[in-house]
Structure 1
Amino acid sequence: MSTNNGPPENEKLIDFHHPYTPYPVQLEFMRTVYNVLEQGGGQVGILESPTGTGKSLSLICSALTWLRNHKQRNFDAGLDETRKQMEGEPEWMVEIALRRKREELMKKWEERELRLERLRKKEKEQEGKGRERKRVRGEGGGERAGKKRESDEEEEFLVGEWHDDEEGGEDRDEEGLSRETKEMMAKVGLGGWKRDLDHDEEGEDGGGNEIKIYYTSRTHSQLTQFISELRRPEFPPSLPSEMLKKGEKEETKETIKEITLSSRQKLCINPAVARLSSVSEINDRCTELQQSKSKDKCAFMPNSENLNQTHQFRDTALATVPDIEDMYRIGKQLQICPYYASRTAIPGAEVITLPYPLLLQKSAREALGIKLEGNVVIIDEAHNVMDAVANVYAADIRLSELRRGRQMLGVYVKRFGKKLKGENRVMVAQIGKVMESLKDWLEGQLQVRGDQGIADPNSLLKSRSADQINLYTLMKYIQESKLAYKVESYIAHTGESQDSTLTFPKSSTPVLHTLVSFLTALTNLSTEGRIFYEKLPGETPDIKLSYLLLSPAHAFSSIASSARALILAGGTMSPFEDYKAHLFPTLPPEKLTTLSCGHVIPTSNLFVHTLSSYKPGATAVSGSDLFEFSFQKRSDRTMIKNLGLTLLNICSVAPDGVVVFFPSYSYLDEVIAVWQSADGSSSQSIWDRLASKKPLFRDASSTSGTASTSDDILSSYSAAIDAPLSPRKGAVLFSVIGGRLSEGINFSDSLCRLVLIVGLPYPNLHSPEWKARIEYLESTCIARGGSKEEAKVEAREFYENAAMRAVNQSIGRAVRHRGDWSGIVLVDRRYEMQRVSGKLPGWIRRGMGEKNENKGVVGLMGGLRGFFSGKA
């Protein structure tokens, strides 16, 4: 464990209301979280708790306990303020004022809890009656069959008048909503566009200005799992105990008030919108249906006529701790849009759950009305938060997309060009010029030698005088006019194209949205970003431009600087150094707390071994007897065969499932090819001999053309392990570090009794992306006053940490709960180096025991036999 700040003095007195008896490591974790939140003032906690140690429940219990205690202290402070204001008055007047204050707070609290309790009972009654809970998105919608009349086409597909003038225009917000729509939504309590929420709803729900906990994770399934854990513990009310009636202090509970925020794609209940194929099309169509000129306004949009349903949605959500599917179901039942109505619940919520992109992107937070200032932010599964920030700001566009988009725009202009007036005509022409310029550059790059490299952003718009165009105005026009949706819809309406020489392959995102994303990156270029080009394989030559954010610090700073406290939590956060250096480079040491928890399993349930050589006593001159899977040495056929023989030995003693992780899919293919080749020393190949021990399964990259999904592979693998009559015990699964089966997969119990890590997955330093990263890291270090040598060390650390984070994720697949047990074998002599092994999670390092060098496979097998004896 490593902590910069000591635990609070009263830590032993804190009851975290854990539904079970917490283990010591869970108590340590909860105390650390509580301490970080208690200190506030921009505190940051980077906390590692291995999978299987109840991390989610520990986060919930510590954070909610702190929140309820904090609320109680605020109530006490309010009473103290009343005393202060009454200073000098007779004691009886002071007591009357205090009693009225308590009664006022208690009445408001009781009314709210009674209302929510009635809704909870109603929900349970509906469930008891077996009400259908299927979320089926209906077919149909407001499209008329048959060919539209010309006037209908113009009304539906022709862009309306547009002015680049905030006063003259409709004053649209980030989502394209008109002033009329925004004012209406503000009146019904949808305050995403008006943060001073002082409406009746706020007071009714008990305080929109109270501190909230924003919890985010990588996927919707992880959020759903968190919410199911959120329903387990019970917490006392936020009122001070002195305000509760006698005999109620122990029994009174207050349900957690939670709301889930998500995208329209997950929450839209309008069939005509939800059935669209891409997020951007759904967003465009939705906002188009809110316009004052739209004849088909969305019937589910909250407004003054359905205010009762909006409030009922809010109260039902706050009463029931809903997940995303529950939000959709409630909205469907009440015939009110859950995407917009969910925002009415934000003021009264204590916990707000949302996926990564909605928290990490400032524009998304503003659109949803999320206010981080003074609130608590918890980022779970935070081992990949730096990549997540980079992905949120990443953008790419292909030559084939530009060609397709230019052709589609031409068809659209051919039909509506004479109808386009004023600025519409100018802006559409400018879009064509920008697309042509990017297309010219990419077509020219196809003729240049080399498959990839860094692009000079200043050269991309040199053609067609596109560099004279105001890109900010152009992007604003595409977003506000909904041109992307109208062009794509018109092409679909006409049956792809009236010109048989043009083909428009279906894309998941309208190409004009792809263009806007890329232009956004182009206009936001700084020292922190680079643009790359890469030629793509295929029968038709294609090339891609990509924007890469080299440092997440600036993009992440708005979160770190706003929150009262920020928790980064994960099962495998090691090594910690990158988060400090690249997310919080200016954070004072006293504001940072780090913790690496041990595991809840007993030490006898874990076996960790580093295997550096095939034969005992091997040295550097022994050549292939050493295991070193560096890029220069990993193709040595003797070493690959020795690896296969090692796995044969392991399969003879390891029960049930064995999972083997390789550095890359290409190297996995190479190794299997060697194992499948004829072996002169045996009548059978190594692959056949392995197959005689255990059934073999392998993962393949999503780009390899294989039809098998991760679920298919895991299902077959699991079935082989569970097969009761199989003469071969268990199975072997070959996967890749950082691949489809290395993260988010639960290899508990018999699915993984041993995990084998082959080599280290160092990224390709010769790729343009990593060249740019290393150059950026070195230059920023020197700019801070560091020497060239220090800059090289810092860049090397980042490079090695990237590999070890991936390794640690793969290792974490093995042990998933307190009763689980597994062996971990790290096959590469570099794992013996302190510089590498020091980046492993603490619980793994503590399980390594004595050094294993020079013991070879003989030493490994002795250790494995001892570990597995009596366990199978």
Structure 2
Amino acid sequence: MASLNDDDIETPLNLDFHHPFTPYDVQLRFMRAVYDVLEVGNGQVGILESPTGTGKSLSLICGALTWLRNHKRGRYESTFEAIAEGMAGEPEWMIETALRRKREELTRRWEEREAVLAKIRAREREREDDGKQRAGKKRRLDEDDGIVRKGKGKGKRVLDDEEKEFLIGDWDSGEGDGRDGDPLSGLSRETRELLEKVGLGLPRKMDEDEGEVEDEIKIYYTSRTHSQLTQFISELRRPVFPPSLPSTLISKDNKESTETVKQLPLSSRQKLCINPSVSRLGSLSAINDRCTELQQSKSTQKCAFMPSADNLKMTHQFRDTVLATVPDIEDMYHVGKQLQVCPYYASRTAIPGAEVVTLPYPLLLQKSARDALGIKLKGNIVIIDEAHNIMDAVANVHAAEISLSDLRRARQMLGVYVKRFGKKLKGENRVTVAQVGRVIESLSEWLDTTMKVKGEQGIADPNLLLKARGADQINLYQLMRYIQESKLAYKVESYASHVEDDQQQQKRKSSASSPVLHSLVSFLTALTNLSNEGRVFYQKITGPPADIKLSYLLLSPTHAFSSIASSARAVILAGGTMSPFEDYKAHLFPNLAPEKITTLSCGHVIPSSNLCVWTLGSTRPVPATAGNAPDAFEFSFQKRSDKAMVRQLGLAILNICSIVPDGVVVFFPSYGYLDEVVAVWQCQVADETKSIWDRLVAKKALFRETKGGSSDEVLQSYTQAILSPDEENDTTKGKKGGGGALLLSVVGGKMSEGINFSDRLGRCVVIIGLPYPNINSPEWKARIEYIESSSLSRNRTLEPGEGEAAQAPDAQAIAAAKQAARDFYENACMRAVNQSIGRAIRHQNDYAAIVLVDRRFGTERIRGKMPGWIRGGMVEGSENKGLQGLMGALSGFFRGKKGV
């Protein structure tokens, strides 16, 4: 894994990245690194770190789009060279004629396309200027187009016409029909054929005349949340890039010297559905099922917004509008509603012409989701932003859980359904529905037994979960496919809601996030994964009412991520705090040669005088040769309950609050430990007039994050305490210690990621201890065991030949495997610490102090896992200077900031 230095950067130093502002040096380094990784291609990986506040998103955009436009122009030139080489030996005039015709053809196609998009942009500007929004003309959809169910009421039997909506249609296993993995398999044959005619079907083999459009290299950009994607799209609108056509080909009549970036945001039906009768269902699984249900050939209620031959013109207008305007998800929704065409399906027509496709993590990380949207990564660029949590994100999209109460509810609803429709179910329908019931009963029986006899949590043997009722003899793959394609989950839950009274129906809507049979399918899918990739855990839930659940945890993201890493031309992982880097190589790209991975850790844009990082190792100064002080701060699991140390911590924070102006944010290792510390601080000892807690309250307004509480409310109150209305824009206020506010939060909690504590909101961030995960939990025991075993298999020096006994690993290999597990465990801790620290410094003129309270922060091993900009701000030897040294450093630091 190569670390990138300025000398290693191959990009020409005078390359114009079309940055809308004068870029900082760190931004130039970042953009050059992005450009180099994409230029090398061939499966290259870049792991790039640039602190929040350094314009990372804009640097990603400028580096990647500059490369993309240069690459496109280069492909045009290569086309001309290929023509000339193919006509070698022909008369010069013939070669020139062929080249001229090709140039004219490419120019004409580009200018016609740009002219169409320019007209759409002009129309959009007129609408904005005049305040006219045509979407208002279509508002009748909100109320009038829903599906009205007749005869609904307490105790009323569902009418025969309505039975067709809930009754499972004729279903055949269809083995060998080639439809496995087909994301459109739930649609009728007529709908599938129609989608293919209008270009909305599955990716198909391209004809020669469409190859050039389909082969355009794209950038697939993904981030964790839709709000982060919206912010990225806002940044994407800032820079202006030259055309993808070489300037020599642009006609003199065309005065355009720029070309708008063609960007397409993709999302789920839940965000894009404009059919009110479907979107009001709430849960994604219910919306997906109802959507495909309306496309079935037997459905009497076809969705009026589905792209078809009747609205083909509107579908194409949707495509052109999207490619012309750099929209976000809300814009896509409104364009679809205005044109009366489904944004979810119509967006597929825009994929071939898009340069940048933005999408949330789940749509990129799951192959089934990529297939459903027609996303092809082969030869394209993948940029993963906020990638510090990418391994957790991979695990989350493949996670599944189901509880005993879910299973009981599913069995009850299935019983109601079979009682009503059982006699109408024929053949394989009847057999397979019975199999679903047996699987539910087997899982329920295992959980019910475990609830009574075993511990609070542990690892479940997947071979025993389906041992009862003969469920282990059922083909799970066939069963899952049946539930998905027959829409059994949607039909059962929909029918159950019909036979309940209104009060019960409202309860169900408010308590159920998705049909429980979908949860069952997700869990069964997890059970069929490779056994060494994941584990199944059980955990009891304290009541009332008491419950127990099964959870599937993916132990390694390697296999799940391999389809992305092996397909893309290049993959870039970018984030504000990517350090430490080793885990990404070991667990995402374990088989990639070191020279194929480029790493870069950028410094911050702030001057060094704006950051003070101090390690508080003890209350009193400690000579370097004295070893650990008796009053050292060490918040290890064995020592952190020492009440004397906890009281000393409270006094240290009280001293910090006396000097630091405005906002102080303190991060604790866990909610449980925060509660423990607060209890000690609130206890008043005999020789004190006030408790530590009362003294903190007197010094600053005190706020505390609670597990399950509203972080928005706490953050709002904390902000108001610092920025009173008359002070909000006055940066000279609050320049002395005292006043302001103190926020007690948790590493890994809601305040530790995505929250902006810029300027006065975060003048000091205090980290209490190292927040190691609970290594005794079943999940972490399984992770450690998996990493050790996989490390041993990779590091085995001698593979036994045929007939030879497997050689036992030697002591060195065992030690290396245990070290790999320890590193992974420690890296998880330090990524969380780095994220919390990164909440404070948010822009070039910001300044803050970082106080690391634990002697272990003074070790080189721990410091080496921090980003370079944090290490650069560390005060040398601070871990031995005690609380008095910290007070002096903070006084000098903030004294120098008066009037800033």
Q: TM-score, normalised by structure 2?
A: 0.93
Residues 1:348 and 2:357 are matched in the alignment: no
- Partner residue in 2 for 1:188: 198
Q: Which amino acid aligns with 1:866?
A: G
Residues 1:290 and 2:291 are matched in the alignment: no
On the 8 A contact 2:612/2:875 being kept in 1, the answer is no
Q: Which amino acid aligns with 2:700?
A: K
In the TM superposition, what are the counterparts of 1:90-129 in structure 2 within 5 Å?
90-129=91-130
Aligned with 2:270 (options 253, 265, 271) = 265
On the 8 A contact 1:701/1:740 being kept in 2, the answer is no
Distance, in Å, in 2 between the alignment partners of 1:498 and 1:649 is 56
On the 8 A contact 2:365/2:394 being kept in 1, the answer is yes
Distance, in Å, in 1 between the alignment partners of 2:359 and 2:98 is 41
How far residue 699 of structure 1 moved from its aligned partner, in angstroms, is: 0.7
Other structure's SS at 1:11 match: coil
- Partner residue in 2 for 1:12: 13
Distance, in Å, in 2 between the alignment partners of 1:770 and 1:95 is 68
Distance, in Å, in 2 between the alignment partners of 1:199 and 1:294 is 37
Other structure's SS at 2:472 match: helix
Residues 1:254 and 2:280 are matched in the alignment: no
Distance, in Å, in 1 between the alignment partners of 2:377 and 2:605 is 34
On the 8 A contact 1:698/1:713 being kept in 2, the answer is yes
Residues 1:864 and 2:870 are matched in the alignment: no
Distance, in Å, in 2 between the alignment partners of 1:271 and 1:293 is 21
Residue range with higher mean Cα deviation, 770-779 or 6-15:
6-15
Q: Which amino acid aligns with 2:746?
A: V
Distance, in Å, in 2 between the alignment partners of 1:852 and 1:344 is 60
Structure-2 change in CA distance of 1:716 and 1:586 (3 Å): same
Distance, in Å, in 2 between the alignment partners of 1:638 and 1:716 is 31
- Partner residue in 1 for 2:679: 673
Residues 1:302 and 2:311 are matched in the alignment: no
How far residue 100 of structure 1 moved from its aligned partner, in angstroms, is: 1.1
Q: Which amino acid aligns with 2:63?
A: S
- Partner residue in 2 for 1:22: 23
Structure-2 change in CA distance of 1:208 and 1:504 (3 Å): closer
How far residue 6 of structure 1 moved from its aligned partner, in angstroms, is: 6.1
Residues 1:636 and 2:642 are matched in the alignment: yes
Residues 1:659 and 2:669 are matched in the alignment: no
Distance, in Å, in 2 between the alignment partners of 1:851 and 1:335 is 67
Distance, in Å, in 1 between the alignment partners of 2:793 and 2:265 is 43
Residues 1:810 and 2:816 are matched in the alignment: no
CA deviation digits over 1:584-628, x for unaligned, max 9? 0010011010000000011011110011001222866743x2100
Residues 1:745 and 2:751 are matched in the alignment: no
CA RMSD of aligned residues (A): 2.3
Aligned with 2:142 (options 138, 144, 156) = 138
Residues 1:403 and 2:408 are matched in the alignment: yes
Residues 1:645 and 2:671 are matched in the alignment: no
Q: Which amino acid aligns with 1:644?
A: G
Residues 1:387 and 2:397 are matched in the alignment: no
Aligned with 1:763 (options 757, 773, 780) = 773
Residues 1:837 and 2:863 are matched in the alignment: yes
CA deviation digits over 1:615-648, x for unaligned, max 9? 222866743x210001111111111111111111
- Partner residue in 2 for 1:442: 447
Other structure's SS at 1:442 match: helix
Other structure's SS at 2:537 match: strand
- Partner residue in 1 for 2:88: 87
Distance, in Å, in 2 between the alignment partners of 1:299 and 1:6 is 59
On the 8 A contact 2:622/2:629 being kept in 1, the answer is no
How far residue 870 of structure 1 moved from its aligned partner, in angstroms, is: 3.5
Give aligned pairs, total: 860
How far residue 126 of structure 1 moved from its aligned partner, in angstroms, is: 1.2
How far residue 208 of structure 1 moved from its aligned partner, in angstroms, is: 2.0
Residues 1:240 and 2:246 are matched in the alignment: yes
Distance, in Å, in 1 between the alignment partners of 2:71 and 2:258 is 16
- Partner residue in 1 for 2:329: 324
Structure-2 change in CA distance of 1:10 and 1:150 (3 Å): closer
- Stretches of structure 1 that go unaligned for 5 or more consecutive residues are none
How far residue 234 of structure 1 moved from its aligned partner, in angstroms, is: 0.4
Structure-2 change in CA distance of 1:497 and 1:769 (3 Å): farther
How far residue 507 of structure 1 moved from its aligned partner, in angstroms, is: 1.4
Residue range with higher mean Cα deviation, 400-409 or 9-18:
9-18
Q: Which amino acid aligns with 1:852?
A: S
How far residue 788 of structure 1 moved from its aligned partner, in angstroms, is: 1.1
Residues 1:150 and 2:154 are matched in the alignment: no
Q: Which amino acid aligns with 1:774?
A: I
How far residue 248 of structure 1 moved from its aligned partner, in angstroms, is: 7.2
Structure-2 change in CA distance of 1:637 and 1:8 (3 Å): closer
- Partner residue in 2 for 1:848: 874
- Partner residue in 2 for 1:508: 513
Other structure's SS at 1:207 match: helix
Other structure's SS at 1:447 match: helix
Structure-2 change in CA distance of 1:476 and 1:772 (3 Å): same
Other structure's SS at 1:567 match: strand
Structure-2 change in CA distance of 1:701 and 1:195 (3 Å): farther
Other structure's SS at 2:511 match: coil
Q: Which amino acid aligns with 2:499?
A: T
In the TM superposition, what are the counterparts of 1:574-613 in structure 2 within 5 Å?
574-613=579-618
CA deviation digits over 1:808-863, x for unaligned, max 9? 00001000011111110000001011111110111000111312122111000111
On the 8 A contact 1:195/1:369 being kept in 2, the answer is no
How far residue 128 of structure 1 moved from its aligned partner, in angstroms, is: 1.5
Distance, in Å, in 2 between the alignment partners of 1:351 and 1:641 is 54
CA deviation digits over 1:201-227, x for unaligned, max 9? x58xx7221110000000000000000
Other structure's SS at 2:217 match: coil
Distance, in Å, in 2 between the alignment partners of 1:493 and 1:248 is 62
Aligned with 2:497 (options 483, 492, 495) = 492
Q: Which amino acid aligns with 1:544?
A: K
- Partner residue in 1 for 2:824: 798
Distance, in Å, in 2 between the alignment partners of 1:49 and 1:698 is 30
CA deviation digits over 1:362-412, x for unaligned, max 9? 111011100000000000000000000000111111001001110110111
Distance, in Å, in 2 between the alignment partners of 1:95 and 1:230 is 39
Aligned with 1:222 (options 221, 228, 248) = 228
How far residue 577 of structure 1 moved from its aligned partner, in angstroms, is: 0.3
Aligned with 1:523 (options 500, 523, 528) = 528
Residues 1:558 and 2:563 are matched in the alignment: yes
Residue range with higher mean Cα deviation, 43-52 or 718-727:
718-727
- Partner residue in 2 for 1:45: 46
Distance, in Å, in 2 between the alignment partners of 1:396 and 1:585 is 28
Aligned with 1:421 (options 408, 421, 426) = 426
Distance, in Å, in 2 between the alignment partners of 1:856 and 1:499 is 62
How far residue 8 of structure 1 moved from its aligned partner, in angstroms, is: 5.2
Residues 1:698 and 2:708 are matched in the alignment: no
Other structure's SS at 2:311 match: helix
Distance, in Å, in 2 between the alignment partners of 1:588 and 1:72 is 31
Other structure's SS at 2:545 match: coil
Residues 1:541 and 2:546 are matched in the alignment: yes
Distance, in Å, in 1 between the alignment partners of 2:476 and 2:7 is 51
On the 8 A contact 1:172/1:480 being kept in 2, the answer is no
Distance, in Å, in 2 between the alignment partners of 1:464 and 1:870 is 75
Q: Which amino acid aligns with 2:883?
A: V
Other structure's SS at 2:38 match: helix
Residue range with higher mean Cα deviation, 91-100 or 165-174:
165-174
Other structure's SS at 1:628 match: coil
CA deviation digits over 1:290-310, x for unaligned, max 9? 111111010000011100000
Residue range with higher mean Cα deviation, 506-515 or 566-575:
506-515
Distance, in Å, in 2 between the alignment partners of 1:248 and 1:597 is 41
- Partner residue in 2 for 1:777: 787
- Stretches of structure 2 that go unaligned for 5 or more consecutive residues are 728-732, 797-812
CA deviation digits over 1:624-677, x for unaligned, max 9? x21000111111111111111111111111111111000000111111111111
Aligned with 2:633 (options 607, 614, 627) = 627
Residues 1:178 and 2:188 are matched in the alignment: yes
CA deviation digits over 1:481-528, x for unaligned, max 9? 10100111111111169999x999831010100000000011113211
Q: Which amino acid aligns with 2:443?
A: L
How far residue 4 of structure 1 moved from its aligned partner, in angstroms, is: 8.2
On the 8 A contact 1:172/1:179 being kept in 2, the answer is no
